[in-house]
Structures are given as structure tokens and as C-alpha cells.
Amino acid sequence: MDHFLYQQDELHAEQCAVAELANTYGTPLYIYSRATLERHWHAFDNAVADHPHMICYAVKANSNLAVLNVLARLGSGFDIVSGGELARVLEAGGEASKVVFSGVGKTVAEMEMALEAGIYCFNVESAAELEQLNEVALRLGKVAPVSLRVNPDVDAGTHPYISTGLKENKFGIAMEEAEAIFLRANTLAGLAVKGADCHIGSQLTELQPFLDAMDRMLALIDRLAEQGVKIAHLDVGGGLGVTYDGEQPPEPSAYASALLAKLAGRDLKLIFEPGRAIAANAGIFVTQVLYLKENADKNFALVDGAMNDLIRPSLYSAWQKIIPVVPRPGETRHYDVVGPVCETGDFLGKDRALNIAANDLLAVRSSGAYGFTMASNYNSRPRAAEVMVDGDRHYLVREREKIAQLWQGEQLLP
């Protein structure tokens, strides 16, 4: 459930008319709904109820400071993958003590930054990273809390670019090597072993792969216990899917209760790293039709938003629903909704039944996750503005990039 609904035949974001927001802030425009973000976060938090847990929102999905701040106010933790994300979390009022640091290639500078900040845990992805972190921690006179990201080798059945839990992926430590590396970690003075983690992929719409991964992780945790390595938390990563086009992913409550059933009788804190499930359907991307172009075989709606603003359709052939902000009665035609970027792959949707005219506004739904955060300046296009609505109020949470910002930091030769 989200808060982007038609009221009096006009799309609204909570109580704000989307057409008015587009008029006020211009297009292309990202619009986020505070109520939806909060609802989704609470869905996870309530689902785990009184079992010790932490919901660490995956910052990469949407790292706008206002989004992070709304979640921080709920008491959220954060899953980060860079020093930049850590800085954003802190800037937004998030607590370092609720941050888990994922990522296959943490630099020494990032390790230092996270140790100084006092994060909850480093999710270490290789033996080499473990040694590096130990060195950095010893040099700073600190003890780094660590978890090892184990690759449980389950097929999450998602798009190959976003599946991460298979042996052939670059992520995590192979299950066969995990025990030895945990034992090694346990001997290093700069490290304190706290947890084990996995993340098997994104946009999962079935429970089974999560449950398979959990079984393998619990078996590992038991083997470690026999060897004197105590694991205090299990971080199951993110990955719960959302509805883009009729998919019926499990609700967070069903997901959590299936996991909790397996945890019965264990003293194991549970950590979730949801990104998409919190942010995707809490945002829309609004774009205006510039021109309609019709030829013998195809109709094109040329819009002012493009792959540089929202790359998921181009990069993953992702399907996101495109709806008119103010629907017109009457016949629809099939359009490819394409942007101005000079690439054939620049499209937001193909073959969409729409009844539209130039200047109409379209909303691409489910754009709150991996939308703005993946935007670029390709074709020297300034990045879109971002707005957050809260009931009948709306706030500009990132201004539209200005042309002169495009070459900020660039220099001419003398």
C-alpha cells in the first residue's frame, strides 16, 4: 500500500495534487511520500516485534537526507556501502551505533572513518579485507566489530545483475571457506566477531530462497559454536521484492515470521537490510510529455525525463508502471515512452497504453528506490529535483541541479 492515489480523477501524493507539485517544482521530478516510507519501515519493525532486532535501511536505495532523516526519527539503523553513505547518515541525524557497513571494496580511509564514528558492525567480504581491517583497527587503538558475509550459494531467481548469493558472484565468502576465516578472525586482536551475514539478491518474490539461505547460515553458526566462536547476530541482508507489475512478494510480516520460526530457542539478534521494500513504492518520478511522434509502426511519447534520471528500465529491462497524472477519457494508443538522451536504450517504458497529448504529465510509479541514487549527468542533463510530501504539505528536499553545477570542479588548461 502506498499513498499515490487518484482523488477526483487527479493523481495525488498523499493530500498533494501531483500536477500542482510539478507546476511548483518543474519536471522531471521525484516525489516521495513520508507516510509511505514510515508505513513500510514499521511493517518490518512490527513484523519482528519483540525479538531482538535492528532494521538497517539500505541507504543505496534512496540516500536523500530527508529520507534518511525520516527513518532516523523512527529509530532506524542503516546499511551503508561507502564513506559517502556513512557521512550522509550522520548528516541526516542517524546513529553510527546502528550502522552496518557492507560492500566488497572498503578502502582504508573508509575503515578509519567508520571506526572513528563507532559503527555497529563491519560486514567483511573477504579474508584480505579482514586482515586489512585488523591492521587499521590496531593502528587506531580500536577493536572493529565484524560479521563475515557468507555466500550461501542459493539461487534467488532474480535478474542476473542483481542476484548476489550465487557462487559465481563477486560477493561474500564461500561457505566452504567461511569457518576457517571466522576462526582466523577470532584470533585477531583488532577484531571482535559479532555476527554473520548474507544477502542473496534483490527483488525476491518468494520466501524459499531466504529460508534456504537461513538454514545454511544457522548450520554454519552451529558449527562455529562448537568451535568456540559465538555469533551474536544474524544479518539476513535485504532483497524483499515489491510489486512493480502484479508480482506478489511476501509481506514483511510473513517473511519475518518464517525467519523467526527458525530462530526459536536461539539467542540471536536479527538484522534486516531492506532498501527497495521501504523506498520503491514510496516514490514516483514525474515527467512531462514534450512531443508525440507517430510513424507507421510505432508511437513515441518523448518526455523530459530520461535514462540519466531513472536508469532501471534501460539497465535491467525493468518494468515500472507509467500512469497519467490527470487521465483523459477516451481511447488509448500504445506508446514507447522515451527520453531525450541520445541512446536507443533510453526509454522509461515500452508499448504502454496511454491517452496523452503534448504537455501532459506522466508518473512512473515505484521510483523511490534506485531512482535518483542511480541518476547521472549523461548528456549534460542536470539531475532532477526531489520533493517529499507529508499530508497536505510538501518540501523541496533537493533542488534541481543548476547548469553551472555540471562543471563544478572542472578546470581549463592554462
Query: Interior CA angle at 159 toward 158 and 162, to 5°?
Result: 90
Contact 217, 150 (CB under 8 A): yes
DSSP structure class, residue 204:
B
106 binds ligand LLP (CB under 6 A): no
Contact 99, 114 (CB under 8 A): yes
Which residue, chain included where needed, has cell 500536477?
19
Q: Which of residues 111-150 bind ligand LLP (CB under 6 A)?
A: none
Residue 385 Cβ vs ligand LLP, minimum distance, rounded to whole Å: 21
Dihedral angle over CA of 166, 188, 96, 230, nearest 10: 70
User: What is the Cβ-side half-sphere exposure of residue 2, based on CA atoms within 13 angstroms?
Assistant: 27
Contact with ligand LLP (CB under 6 A) among 370, 384, 385, 394: 370
Report d(CA 281, CA 368) in Å as an integer: 6
202 binds ligand LLP (CB under 6 A): yes
For ligand LLP, the closer of residues 144 and 204 by Cβ is 204
Contact segment (CB under 6 A) with ligand LLP among 14-22, 112-120, 233-241, 399-407 equals: 233-241
Which residue, chain included where needed, has cell 566488497?
104
Cell of 378: 549523461
Start-to-end CA span in the chain (Å): 57
Q: Which of residues 53-72 bind ligand LLP (CB under 6 A)?
A: 58, 61
Name which of 348, 373, 368 is nearest 277 in CA terms. 368
Contact segment (CB under 6 A) with ligand LLP among 219-227, 238-246, 341-349, 358-366 equals: 238-246
Residue number of the CB atom closest to ligand LLP: 238
Contact with ligand LLP (CB under 6 A) among 199, 365, 381, 383: 199
Report d(CA 414, CA 402) in Å as an integer: 26
Q: Which of residues 312-331 bind ligand LLP (CB under 6 A)?
A: 312, 316
DSSP structure class, residue 249:
P
Name which of 61, 122, 74 is nearest 96 in CA terms. 122
For ligand LLP, the closer of residues 311 and 325 by Cβ is 311
Contact with ligand LLP (CB under 6 A) among 59, 72, 156, 277: 277
For ligand LLP, the closer of residues 9 and 245 by Cβ is 245
Contact with ligand LLP (CB under 6 A) among 45, 273, 304, 346: 273
16 is catalytic: no
Contact segment (CB under 6 A) with ligand LLP among 18-26, 232-240, 263-271, 300-308 equals: 232-240
For ligand LLP, the closer of residues 289 and 369 by Cβ is 369
Q: Which of residues 28-47 bind ligand LLP (CB under 6 A)?
A: none
Contact with ligand LLP (CB under 6 A) among 40, 216, 276, 394: 276
237 binds ligand LLP (CB under 6 A): yes
Contact segment (CB under 6 A) with ligand LLP among 23-31, 197-205, 336-344, 404-412 equals: 197-205
Q: Which residues make Cβ contacts (< 8 Å) with residue 7, sequence separation at least 6?
A: none
Name which of 204, 267, 269, 263 is nearest 238 in CA terms. 204
CA distances, 283 to each of 3, 4, 34, 61, 178 (Å)? 9, 8, 9, 11, 38
For ligand LLP, the closer of residues 289 and 341 by Cβ is 341
For ligand LLP, the closer of residues 159 and 266 by Cβ is 159
| Residues facing residue 4 across a β-bridge | 13
Contact 386, 30 (CB under 8 A): yes
Chain residues binding ligand LLP by CB under 6 A are 58, 61, 79, 102, 162, 164, 199, 202-203, 237-240, 273-277, 312, 316, 370
Tell me the catalytic residues: 342
